[in-house]
Amino acid sequence: MSTTSLFFTAAGVGLAIAAPVGPMGMLCIRRTLTGGPRAGLAIGLGIASGDAAYGLLAALGLVSISQFMLAYDRPLHLLAGLFLLYLGVRALLQKASADTTNDAASGDGQLAQVGRSGALRAYASSLLLTLTNPQTVIMFAALFTTLAPRGAFSSGIALTTVGGVFCGSIAWWCFLVTVVSLARHAIGSKLRVAIDRVVGLTLAAFGVVEIRRAL
């Protein structure tokens, strides 16, 4: 398999991994609705960066670090569960009138956008949340075994595979943020609040599942 073919195959894998709408997808949707495309893209970039970091660990064969992370699998699941539960409860407790007030204050129908500091916080939170799933190392190790040419595994091939997965993941998050951003300007404040409540319940449910996995 050529380097170009390997890259695009890995990109397809990254797209397939990112596409299912799980807790991180719900978080990206909510932040795009409440903070605009910059916040949503920051979430997606944080997720892709976390996956790439674990992929790099697996590619470079840093077994000791991987084993350390896997040894603390339960505490990390507990941390992820508590964080997701916090995000879900925060969304549920958010004042229902907030979006309506913002729309009325804007006058021209523009929706609020997060600033650079808000985007950085969104990136950091999604990166840390992604890093609480060390089993990603196992997934990438299996991926490299499948994609890398037999007997020809090298750091260049590893970096090409990681780069492909990262680009495929980013492509999905850009698509999702674009779709949600277009819908964000088309729906009313009451529907946005209802969606926020549904996302909050979903995030809280995912948090409870993660906590149960840790117990």
Structure confidence at residue 97 (pLDDT) = 43
Structure confidence at residue 56 (pLDDT) = 79
Torsions phi, psi for 115 (to 5 deg): -85, -170
pLDDT tier for residue 147 given thresholds of 50, 70 and 90: low
* CA separation for the pair 36, 70 (Å, rounded): 35
Helix (H) / strand (E) containing 175: helix 155-184
Q: Is the pLDDT of residue 195 over 90?
A: no
DSSP code at position 96: T
Number of domains in the chain: 1
Q: Which amino acid is at 19?
A: A
Higher-confidence position of 29 and 56: 29
pLDDT tier for residue 68 given thresholds of 50, 70 and 90: low
* CA separation for the pair 121, 110 (Å, rounded): 23
Q: For 72-127, what is each residue's pLDDT tens digit?
A: 778 877 888 888 888 888 888 876 444 444 443 444 445 556 777 888 988 998 99
Q: Which domain holds residue 119?
A: 3-214
- Mean pLDDT score, 150-173: 79
